[in-house]
Structure 1
Amino acid sequence: MLSFSFYLFQPLEQIEETFQLAARLGAKQLFTSLHVSKGQELEEQRKLDRIGQFASCYGIGVVADVTPTVLSRLSADADIAAVLRRWGIVGLRLDDGFSMKEAASLSKQVKVVLNASTMTEWECKELASYQADKSNVEAWHNFYPRPETGLGGETVLAQNQRLRRYGIEEIGAFIPGDAKKRGPLYEGLPTLEAHREADPVYAYIELVETYGIKKVFIGDLAVSDGVLRRMDWVRSGVIPIRYRPIVRVEWLSVVETVHTNRRDAARDVIRSAESRRSLVWPKEALQSIPAAPRRTGSITIDNERYGRYAGELQITLVDLPADDRVNVIGQVIEEDMPLLRYIHGGRRFCLIRC
């Protein structure tokens, strides 16, 4: 699941737009922070009432990062669950200051989200000893605004394995946006440091496929329309690959469709199962052109000299030599090269011209 974040410093109009976007993409939760300045409680309560109306209108709940101090200042009501429901808050991501005993108690009233980045073995055991409602417990990793402070992949994998040993399966994490960064540093809000400058679509796929993350949130304020369009492909089970044409021909649009890597996946290339079976190639597409080296990420079509293989579309996974039976027609852009390793046997992908 991909979703988004909003923050109380944003105008209500922008916050509602985030709810609308989440609803369009089928997201069920948004992330926010309740780090409210002292003296602003009444104003923020009024804003939260409006946010609760958005949540009800669009059918989307809010998970809020909160400290014990802020929670007590915002509501002295004994029935905290009722107050949170009024604000559209379906879960609390517990920041520093909550004990595992308090977390277990809260889990019996509302969804509790623990800090996946810092949970220790002892804390996992302690939470279990207090008989937390496991159906109401999740864990999300931090995001890291300052460059060079994000997590390494080994840390995320180790923490996830620990949490799952104790029955916590719903694990979330953050990726940066590419359109409007959140201040004060404006350096992205990733969980993994390697994602700080990464394309959000790649960051999302890596978290889901390599790290088993169930919920991925854009920590920043916005992503571009291009990212949203490519995420539509991802949601339909297709990996979008952007490429730049090398040849200028009218028939190039034929390749810009959904392909499936053959189930018997090759070592050196991705082979489109549809390219020889169902794509209708114009005669000129299969005529040979001057051979060129096939560097990694080359998009190629076997020409008429390859006999029964003529018309097979491939993407190279390694550098390969020139072959006069193979026409090089395009090149995957650098930002999308890491996505190629996720196009395993039987996986669908599409080519998008840049």
Structure 2
Amino acid sequence: MTMRHLGLSIYPDHSNMEEDKKYLELGHKYGFKRIFMSMLEISDNSEDTLEKYREIIQYGNKLGYETFIDLAPQIFTKLGISYQDLKIFHDLGATGLRLDEAFDGETEAMMTYNPYGLIIELNMSNNVDYLNNILSYQASTPFIYGCHNFYPQKGTGLPYDFFIECSKRFKHFGIHSAAFVSSQVGKMGPWNVTDGLPTLEQCRSLPISVQAKLLWATGLIDDVIIGNAYASEDELKALSEVNPYQLELEVEAVSEINEVERTIVNVPQHFRRGDMTSAVVRSTMPRVTYHDEANPAHDNQAEFAYGDVVVGNDDFGVYKNELQIVLEPHSDTRKNKVGTIRKDEQFLLDFIKPWTKFKLVCK
């Protein structure tokens, strides 16, 4: 697995330099590492325009960011440059170029041999044999990344199953990948439609941390980038607290939860038993670790609902202090309800398969 990072987006043709710099500083505070910078809407090739890009990219470089410039074929014409000479982007300080549209495969392959070490990032949001075509021209794969599109118009983002199929094409070859989440407050993007900028349509109205959890839970996305600007500090902070490497779900605790149960929720490295059942997610090691800890009955009379977190009480014999997450409603007085998975995260339970490692955080 490659290292996973957070990114944000800057739109120099629509933004203010000082505000951009403040945004980069705020992202740096919360550990963001990537900048997505759109050059799709550049209006001319004047030195003033390029200087604006250069200044913000190099400011980001000083803060430890890597900048990927989003390009379309017509930009090469506007700038009066060829695909064989990428020096202008190197001089701007960019790490890589994201190609919003496909060329012919041979062109992309040749670009990966540019003498500046610029990474060539491919559009992942088409379920076609695009990547195989490029690789057949003997591209230099260490210099190929993939990045999905984002979708400003409500109702136009990728459906989940299609997103998965597109992403698998890149992950099959171990290509570093990225996708977009959407700020709920940011209003700036490349176009004059501001319905958010996610890759997945189902992410559009979700809290930004839940969007990131979904993308990372697929196991197919390395970098998560905020598509629109400017995200709030609360959103940046929330993203910085998401575990990129394993699913971490928030538990809303019942008032009667005791300290043993709170410890059982928060402390262990949970994993689902390999011999799974459809009724519950079983995390069985706590019953071993906390075998000697008393756990009197409470909150054990009502039927347990989907997403409830329960722990075996003193009446459950060898299963005392086993943690379970309820998948099928049932009743069992030998279990205490200790909390419920946060409502907008419950759909993520589908990602907990046999042997899946996960963490819980009790709020």
Q: Tell me the TM-score normalized by structure 1.
A: 0.82
Q: Does 1:3 align with 2:14?
A: no
Residue in structure 1 matched with residue 311 of structure 2 by the alignment: 301
- The worse-fitting range, judged by mean Cα deviation, of 104-113 and 331-340 is 104-113
Letter in 1 for 2:178: G
Change over 3 Å in CA distance of 1:55–1:75 after alignment to 2: farther
Q: Partners in 2 of 1:292 and 1:178 — Cα distance?
A: 37
Are the counterparts in 2 of residues 259 and 273 from structure 1 also a CA contact under 8 Å? no
Are the counterparts in 2 of residues 4 and 219 from structure 1 also a CA contact under 8 Å?
yes
- Secondary structure of the 1:86 match is helix
Match of 1:350 in 2: 360
Aligned residue in 2 for 1:311: 321
RMSD: 3.4
| CA distance 1:313–1:105, shift in 2 (3 Å) | closer
Whole-angstrom distance in 2 between the partners of 1:347 and 1:164: 21
Q: Distance in 1 between matches of 2:50 and 2:342?
A: 47
Structure 2: state its 5+ residue gaps. Answer: none
**Count of aligned positions:** 348
Check 1:259–1:125 CA distance in 2 against 1; reply closer, same or farther (3 A cut).
Answer: closer
Trace 1:94-113 onto structure 2 (pairs within 5 A): 94-96=99-101, 98-109=103-114, 110-113=118-121
Whether 2:117 is the aligned partner of 1:117: answer no
Query: Separation in 2 of the partners of 1:170 and 1:340?
Result: 26
Residue 146 of structure 2: aligned partner: 139
| Partner Cα distance (2:236, 2:248) in 1 | 10
Q: What is the Cα deviation at residue 249 of structure 1?
A: 5.6
1:45 is aligned to 2:57: no
User: 2:30, 2:236 within 8 Å by CA — same for their partners in 1?
Assistant: no
AA of the residue aligned to 2:321: G
Question: Is the Cα contact below 8 Å between 1:152 and 1:194 reproduced in 2?
Answer: yes
Find the counterpart in structure 2 of residue 158 from structure 1.
165
- Residue 192 in 1 paired to residue 200 in 2? yes
1:33 and 2:38 matched: yes
> How far did 1:42 drift?
3.7
Alignment correspondent of 1:216: 224
CA positional deviation for 1:65: 0.8
Which amino acid counterpart does residue 282 of structure 2 have in structure 1? R
Per-residue deviation, 1:218: 1.9
The secondary structure found in structure 2 opposite 1:53 is helix
> How far did 1:234 drift?
0.8
Q: Which amino acid aligns with 1:196?
A: R
Equivalent residue for 1:244? 252
Offset at residue 190 of structure 1 (A): 1.8
Unpaired segments of 5 or more residues in structure 1? none
C-alpha spacing 1:21/1:81, structure 2 compared with 1 (3 Å): farther
1:12 aligns with 2:17: yes
Distance in structure 1 (CA, Å) of the matches to 2:140 and 2:62: 29
User: What percentage of aligned pairs have identical amino acids?
Assistant: 24
| TM-aligned CA deviation for residue 33 of structure 1 | 0.2
3-state SS of paired residue (1:194)? helix
Name the CA distance, whole Å, in 1 between partners of 2:157 and 2:324.
Answer: 36
Whether the 8 Å contact between 2:188 and 2:228 is mirrored in structure 1 is yes
8 Å Cα contact 1:29-1:60 kept in structure 2? yes
Q: In 2 relative to 1, CA 227–274 (structure 1 residues): closer, same or farther, beyond 3 Å?
A: farther
1:195-274 maps to which residues of 2 (within 5 A)?
195-210=203-218, 212-221=220-229, 222=231, 225=234, 228-229=237-238, 231-235=240-244, 237-248=245-256, 251=259, 253-254=262-263, 257-262=266-271, 264-265=273-274, 266-267=276-277, 268-273=279-284
Distance 1:269 1:177 in 2: 33
Shift of 1:108: 1.9
